Structure formats: structure tokens, C-alpha cells
Amino acid sequence: MRKIDLTNFQVATSETARHINRRIALNIIRRFQPMSRAQLARRSGLQRSTVSAIVGQLIAEGWVTEGASAVSGRGRRPRFLHLNVERAGIVAVDLRPVTTRVGLAGLDARFLMQTAWPTPGTPEGFAAELARTVASFRNSHPEIVCEGVGVSLPGRVDSAGRLVFAPNLHWGAVDLRQLLKDALGLPVALENAASACALAELWFGRQPDDVKHLVAVTVSEGIGVGMLLNGQLIHGRDAMAGEFGHMVLDENGPPCSCGKRGCWEQYASNSAAVRYYLGLLGDGTGAQGPAVPGPALKFTDVLRLADEGDGRAVRTLEHMARHLGVGLAHLVTGLAPQVVIIVGAVTAAWDRVGPIVLDVVKQRTLPANTTPIVPTDPATQPRLRGAVTLVVQQHFGAPNVA
Ligand SMILES: [Zn+2]
């Protein structure tokens, strides 16, 4: 139960009740479709007349469609309701320091189109490139109503849409939401990539419906953590919660883009693995070299080399796995999630990496710990799906009352 915030509340009106019931009906249809009005009334506990009114409204607005009514020998069968997944076109953006991927998806997070381009060096360049992509999507699918744009970011944005912390992006504290709204003429939702992945796991993942405590860890150029605790995404002061990637493991360790030394992501991220492979990173001591990835070798090359039996690549992944385990043990011990989701290219090598991670976590957590650590399938494009979820949850999420 939350305490009522007396600096920011809204008293309930009959409109509030209608809005809540409508959201509940929409979510039940989404979850249990196809279903009849009678089934919806039973599941929701709402009166048949209320259900009919809500469904009528949802159909009129295009959120729900009705299947053809099959006429049997003994009269009309009920018409089944479906979520109209094609109603909304959602532009999903996975913004990363090197490459940006953009997709056009329906309400079910299935992608109709996708493209990728090198991330421009400035936010203005990014907005212009994104506007060109959105225009080309709309030209290819003129039948789709663009409902909004979701962007998953390698950093943190505050509630006003300002980029407050993105050390691997080097863009400064730009008002990204306003910049993109102006460039695209569409509503824009921004969120840290790991937080977006945590939400995507809730809305589109394989978790049980009642999962309340879920942590998502994105392992890429850096390491991001998204925390869903008590069913709520945690943002913290200035939206900075989740920066476990910058938890210092060794103050004499390799320099980090955040200005400190020896942060977790300097040992367990993709860029750290590349530097380790190239010999630029000692085992946590005497590190040299820049805190940016080497341009020649990519993390996917390290994965490929390990597959080909390259001993140095294998040792690199083992080093990365041990350090992933160290940080994950802290998360599991401190946050007690029901599940930890791992997102990133490293999951492709989970048969090699996973056992080491689990072993280190087991050594470093309380005996009662049973939190599963689950890799996501890169084929599901979790970061892009996370960006879709940012828009979907605005239409399907629980209304904020009191
Ligand atoms: Zn750092």
C-alpha cells in the first residue's frame, strides 16, 4: 500500500471508475483473447451492461475487433473479441553508442519493418536521422496510425525527458524528449535500456502474470540494470537508480567513462572483454588504454573466436563471466528479485558463460538464495521490444490513482 501523496493527488470521479474498468477490460481481452462478452463479464466481475458499453467504446476506438459471428443450427454463437494489434504503429528505437536500430511494430511487439544506422555524434543529428526513418516507415505503411515512439537509451533520463547520465554516449544533458517530439511530431517515451527490458519482460516475456520483482541486466558497451520491484519500475533520485555498472569493484582498476576507476562494467561489459582480449586490461591491475572500445575488434569477434577454439577468446569470456557473477551476486543479495534477466550478445555464449556466472553467484550469495539468472534470446531483440513496451504500457498500464 502506498501513502497518499498530498502534494500530488487527484480525487476519484465517476470518470475515474470508468477509466479503471476500461483498462481492466482491455487487459483481460489482451491476455485471454479470443473471448466473448459473457466471458469478459465473468472474468472481470463487471455487469453485462457495463461490459457491453466498454466493449462498444473499445471497438469504436479501434482497440478491439470482433470476429465474424458463426451462425449455427441453433442460432447465433457469440462473437469473439480480439485485441486489434494492428491498430497502432509503434516506432521502437534502440539507441546505442555505435549503432541505432529502429523498428515499426504493432501492439503485440511484432516488427513489420526494421532498419539500423550508425549513431550520429550529436543529438540533433540523431533526431534528424530518426525523422527520416519514421517518414520512410510511414510511406511504406500508410494504413498504420503511428501511436508513438519509444526509445531505449544507454543512460538515464529524468522525468522531464532530459538525458542526465549517458557516459558512453557523450551527448551532455540534452532535453532529448522535446528534441525528438519537435523533430517527429509524435509522442515520445524515453527510458534506460535495462529498465525498458525489465518492462518488456513483464509485458511480453515468459514470466508468470504475477511476477513482481524482476531485475534486467543489459551487458553491452557498458552494464545497465533495470529494477522492477513490488511491480514498479524503480527510478530513484534524478532517475539514477540502477547504475550498478558504476559500482566500484577496485579503486585502482581500469579507468571508466564515468571518471572513476574499476567500475563493474570495466570488467564485465562487452567493451571490457574486447580490451581484455587485446591485452589492454590486466586482471584488474595496471590497466592501460582508453576507456573506449577498440575500433578493429568487436565483441562478436571474441564470441566467434571462442567458438573457433581460440584460447585467448575463451579465457576472455571466462574472465567476463566471473566478473558478471561478482556483480550479479550483489544484485541478488541486495534486491532479492524473483528472477534476473540477462540481455546482450553474451547470452549467445551462455553455455560457456552461464555455468561460471551461476557458480560465482552461488559462492557469493546467502545459502537461501534461489534466484534464477536467465539469459534472453537475442533473436527476440529485447532492447527493441523494450522500446515498444514504453508505448504499450501507456495504453495498457494500471491508471495512476491517488
Ligand atoms: Zn564507471
Whole-number Å distance, alpha carbon 291 to ligand 1 midpoint, is 10
pLDDT value at 354 more than 60: yes
pLDDT value at 71 more than 70: no
pLDDT value at 68 more than 80: no
Whole-number Å distance, alpha carbon 11 to ligand 1 midpoint, is 44
d(C-alpha 270, C-alpha 284), whole Å: 16
Whole-number Å distance, alpha carbon 262 to ligand 1 midpoint, is 7
Whole-number Å distance, alpha carbon 336 to ligand 1 midpoint, is 24
Tell me what pLDDT residue 14 has: 86
Question: Does residue 118 have a cis peptide bond before it, meaning omega lies within 30 degrees of 0?
Answer: no
Whole-number Å distance, alpha carbon 348 to ligand 1 midpoint, is 25
Whole-number Å distance, alpha carbon 258 to ligand 1 midpoint, is 4
Percent of the chain with pLDDT over 70: 93
Phi, psi for residue 29 in degrees, rounded to 5:
-65, -45
Whole-number Å distance, alpha carbon 99 to ligand 1 midpoint, is 21
Whole-number Å distance, alpha carbon 261 to ligand 1 midpoint, is 7
Whole-number Å distance, alpha carbon 365 to ligand 1 midpoint, is 24
Q: Taking the alpha carbons of 241, 246, 249, 251 in that order, is the dihedral positive or negative? A: negative
Residue 288 — very low, low, confident or very high, per pLDDT cuts 50/70/90? very low
**What average pLDDT does the segment 54-73 reach?**
83
Whole-number Å distance, alpha carbon 247 to ligand 1 midpoint, is 7
Query: DSSP code of 288?
Result: -
Whole-number Å distance, alpha carbon 369 to ligand 1 midpoint, is 28
**What average pLDDT does the segment 366-388 reach?**
93
Whole-number Å distance, alpha carbon 254 to ligand 1 midpoint, is 10
Total number of residues shown for the chain: 402
Check: CB of residue 267 under 8 Å from CB of residue 330: no
Whole-number Å distance, alpha carbon 346 to ligand 1 midpoint, is 20
Whole-number Å distance, alpha carbon 257 to ligand 1 midpoint, is 6
d(C-alpha 124, C-alpha 137), whole Å: 20
Q: Taking the alpha carbons of 11, 13, 15, 21 in that order, is the dihedral positive or negative? A: positive
Whole-number Å distance, alpha carbon 155 to ligand 1 midpoint, is 12
pLDDT value at 189 more than 50: yes
Whole-number Å distance, alpha carbon 244 to ligand 1 midpoint, is 9
**What average pLDDT does the segment 60-80 reach?**
76
d(C-alpha 393, C-alpha 150), whole Å: 11
Check: CB of residue 231 under 8 Å from CB of residue 210: no
pTM of the complete model: 0.90
> Which tens digit of pLDDT belongs to each residue from 218-267?
999 999 999 999 999 999 998 999 999 999 999 999 999 899 999 999 99
**What average pLDDT does the segment 51-80 reach?**
82
Whole-number Å distance, alpha carbon 19 to ligand 1 midpoint, is 44
Whole-number Å distance, alpha carbon 172 to ligand 1 midpoint, is 16
> Which tens digit of pLDDT belongs to each residue from 7-42?
888 888 888 889 999 999 999 999 999 999 999 999
Query: DSSP code of 341?
Result: E
Residue 290 — very low, low, confident or very high, per pLDDT cuts 50/70/90? very low
Residue 314 — very low, low, confident or very high, per pLDDT cuts 50/70/90? very high
Break the chain down into helix, strand, coil percent, rounded to 5. Answer: 40, 20, 35
Whole-number Å distance, alpha carbon 80 to ligand 1 midpoint, is 53
Lowest mean pLDDT among 6-20, 121-135, 272-286, 349-363: 272-286
Q: Decide which of 294 and 168 is more confident.
A: 168
Residue 113 — very low, low, confident or very high, per pLDDT cuts 50/70/90? very high
Place of cell 511494430: 105
Whole-number Å distance, alpha carbon 227 to ligand 1 midpoint, is 19
Which set of grid coordinates corresponds to residue 1?
A: 500500500
Tell me what pLDDT residue 50 has: 94
Rounded to the nearest integer, the mean pLDDT of the chain is: 91
pLDDT value at 292 more than 60: no
Which set of grid coordinates corresponds to residue 81?
A: 473479441
Place of cell 571490457: 272
pLDDT value at 293 more than 90: no
* CA geometry: angle 168, 133, 294, nearest 5 deg: 30
- Give Dmax over CA atoms of the chain in angstroms: 82
Q: Decide which of 133 and 11 is more confident.
A: 133
Tell me what pLDDT residue 203 has: 92
In the chain, the amino acid numbered 71 is V
Whole-number Å distance, alpha carbon 256 to ligand 1 midpoint, is 5
- Exposure string of 213-228, with b = 16+ CB inside 10 Å and e = fewer, is ebbbbbbbbbbbbbbb
